[in-house]
Structure 1
Amino acid sequence: MTTETKPANQEKKGAIELTAAMVLSGTLGVFVIESGASPFNVVFFRCLFGTITLGLYCLVRGFFKNHNFTPKKLGLAALGGVFIVFNWAFLFESYEGTSISVATVVYHTQPFYVVLLGALLFRDKLTATKFGWLGVAFIGLILVAGVSASDLTGGGDTAYLQGLGYALLAAVFYAISTVITKRVTGVKPHLVALVQLVLGIFLLLPFTALSEMKNMGGDWGWLVGLGVIHTCVMYVLMYSAYQKLPTPKIAVLAFVYPAVAMLMDWAVYGHSVSWLQALGIPLIVAASLGINLGWSFKGRRPAAVQQAAPKAPAAGSTTTTESKIEVQSGGNR
């Protein structure tokens, strides 16, 4: 096999892995709803079963040897975990008030909060082009939300507005976790995720109503699936893919997640978005890709982006789901 063929095969494998991970992500909402458990209970057991399976994977792969954690890195990983765990809880809560489709699309505005937080906390340059894309995303958000004047004056569906609020709050929490976890360098992303899952068990225990789980019966399978499939398997696929793919491909394939989520919401629950809401989806997608890939409104990429093509991280580098690509949709879902 030539040296040219090998990277091409690796990239193809990475594309398959990431596509599979995003397809799994798209089914997450169905597992949450079908479990019948409250959002905090769902997240608690996702953390519990995810810790067991991801921990075993890390043990078998020998990731605990030379883990490179320092007290500071461990503290940052844990702090990021606080926000990522509650991000899950608020996202799952938003499904009940809105729908999987609307909540997922609204949640996908989180990359723009990462940009805003970077500008606010680290004085990252917020160029006119980035500001323009943020404006496009905001217009898309308004359309997707489908909020009318009566909703805002108290005459609308209160539960729906609360659901939108939870989805937005989940997106903000995800963005905060992204900014924090990006500073954890030199540690396997699987280990960072494992720390956050372990933390989630203890963090959510006071909010978990274990008495509600007595008569779950076969519905336990949905919760086990969330821990095994949507946490361990999905993370392993994503982290493996990130090693093989350039940033542009990751950015594009990330949108398989909301597409599948909307398809599942329609197929299983008969939910669909209105034509007006549908107009906002391509605006959010275009804005996300525009910021991530350095698109300008003149149709040319900035020189800095053209000169430095993104590279996949080295095997030993830290690239958590949150830190590999800032403006992707999803991350640690």
Structure 2
Amino acid sequence: MDKIAFIQLSLAMIIVGTIGFFSRLSGLPSMELVFIRCVSAALFLAAYWFFSGRYKKEKWGKREVPIIVLGGVLLVLNWILFFASFEHTAITIVISIYNLAPIIVLVISWIFLKAPIQGLGLLSVILAFIGSLFTSGLTLETMHRGQSFIGPLDAAVAAFFYAFVILTGKKIRRASPYAVTLIQTLTGVVMLFPFVDYSLYTQLTLSEWFYSIVTGVVHTGIVYLLFYGGIRRLKVTTVSALTYLDPLVAILIDILISGFIPSRLQIFGIVVIFVALSYTLFNHQSKQAAKTARPHSKY
């Protein structure tokens, strides 16, 4: 095993696991936070892409550019809903539901891509659905008390958008991961520019500016460099296993620092989702990895 690649990917997943915590400290609503993330990530990746000389080796396919831009639109919508979900519910719940994206990819593959349905795959989908219901913490009693379902719903729709980001990524064969990410973050800047409330930025403290910019430079720029630097030199099973570090770190931070205490049913739901993900991450990914052009970082 390539130890450096193992450390790179492990570090990337650990950093990603802190993004929910950082987003809450940014002091920004989801759209304004995503805009700052896109701007800072684009500047960082453009500088790296240029000064590293990678732009000289870039190979472009005219047919790929619209697909990359479409992926960028889906990615930005995914980010907006992902961060919005943190405003309404606990990080642990958001992360658990959001990680249903690989299972959504599996379902889409069955329905639209005519992929063969396997017994274990169908069981994983059923388990994931049941787990997400328990994890959301919503029951008839809590809904009667007026508990909001907006947070869990935002997380679920964000997972849906991310599933389509994965599928569009499979169509990209020539452009480098750095070029793809740069184009997609620039797409986010153009897409959100007319809708952002710029007055909110004038109210930020220095610490809130720090946390906001970190979500772009570190959680997007540096994570992508570590992520793509690691996955190419590791086995798919190793990559799949290391992806569990992300939700694990997020849940630990939420419990130990944010003080979230999940109920027994929510703990059961989280465990059920992880069991369901085990199938998609270890079995489905191992079969499809060779066909996947360039996988995206989840966040």
Q: Taking structure 2 as the reference length, what is the TM-score of the superposition?
A: 0.94
**1:162 alignment partner in structure 2:** 150
Q: Deviations over 1:249-302 (max 9, x none)?
A: 11111011111111112233211211221112222112112133239xxxxxxx
Quote the offset at 1:151 in angstroms: 4.3
Quote the offset at 1:21 in angstroms: 0.6
The answer to whether 1:320 aligns with 2:278 is no
Other structure's SS at 2:283 match: coil
Letter in 1 for 2:294: T
Quote the offset at 1:187 in angstroms: 2.1
Letter in 1 for 2:13: M
- Identify which of 239, 256, 272 aligns with 1:283: 272
Quote the offset at 1:310 in angstroms: 6.5
Aligned length: 297
Take 2:134 and 2:126, find their aligned partners in 1: how far apart are those partners? 13
Q: Which region of structure 1 is more displaced relative to structure 2, 119-128 or 93-102?
A: 119-128
The answer to whether 1:332 aligns with 2:281 is no
Other structure's SS at 1:68 match: coil
Specify whether residues 40 and 247 from structure 1 end up closer, same or farther in structure 2 by C-alpha distance, changes over 3 A only.
same
Quote the offset at 1:66 in angstroms: 3.5
Unaligned residue ranges in structure 2 (runs of 5+): none
Take 1:272 and 1:253, find their aligned partners in 2: how far apart are those partners? 25
Superposed counterparts of 1:27-42, under 5 Å:
27-42=18-33
Take 2:180 and 2:119, find their aligned partners in 1: how far apart are those partners? 35
Quote the offset at 1:129 in angstroms: 2.0
Q: Which region of structure 1 is more displaced relative to structure 2, 143-152 or 101-110?
A: 143-152
Take 2:102 and 2:293, find their aligned partners in 1: how far apart are those partners? 19
**2:60 alignment partner in structure 1:** 69
**2:239 alignment partner in structure 1:** 250
Q: Deviations over 1:5-46 (max 9, x none)?
A: xxx3x2x22221111011111111111111101100000000
Quote the offset at 1:320 in angstroms: 3.3
Take 1:248 and 1:283, find their aligned partners in 2: how far apart are those partners? 20
Quote the offset at 1:64 in angstroms: 1.6
Unaligned residue ranges in structure 1 (runs of 5+): 1-7, 296-304, 322-330
Quote the offset at 1:136 in angstroms: 1.5
Take 2:142 and 2:62, find their aligned partners in 1: how far apart are those partners? 48
Letter in 2 for 1:203: M
Q: Deviations over 1:193-239 (max 9, x none)?
A: 11100100011112210011112131111111111111111110010
- Contact kept, 8 Å, 1:192 with 1:320, in 2: the verdict is no
Q: Taking structure 1 as the reference length, what is the TM-score of the superposition?
A: 0.84
Letter in 2 for 1:81: G
Letter in 1 for 2:239: I
Q: Deviations over 1:161-212 (max 9, x none)?
A: 0111100010000001111111101221111111100100011112210011
RMSD: 1.9
Quote the offset at 1:98 in angstroms: 0.7
- Identify which of 139, 149, 154 aligns with 2:140: 149
Q: Which region of structure 1 is more displaced relative to structure 2, 264-273 or 186-195?
A: 264-273
Take 1:320 and 1:128, find their aligned partners in 2: how far apart are those partners? 26
Superposed counterparts of 1:17-96, under 5 Å:
17-96=8-87
Large movers: runs of 4+ above 3 Å: 308-311
**1:268 alignment partner in structure 2:** 257
Letter in 1 for 2:147: D
Other structure's SS at 2:234 match: coil
The answer to whether 1:222 aligns with 2:188 is no
Take 1:26 and 1:168, find their aligned partners in 2: how far apart are those partners? 18
User: What percent identity do the matched residue pairs reach?
Assistant: 27
- Identify which of 169, 172, 178 aligns with 2:166: 178
- Identify which of 166, 180, 193 aligns with 1:205: 193
Letter in 1 for 2:99: H
- Contact kept, 8 Å, 1:81 with 1:195, in 2: the verdict is yes
**2:110 alignment partner in structure 1:** 119
Specify whether residues 310 and 216 from structure 1 end up closer, same or farther in structure 2 by C-alpha distance, changes over 3 A only.
closer
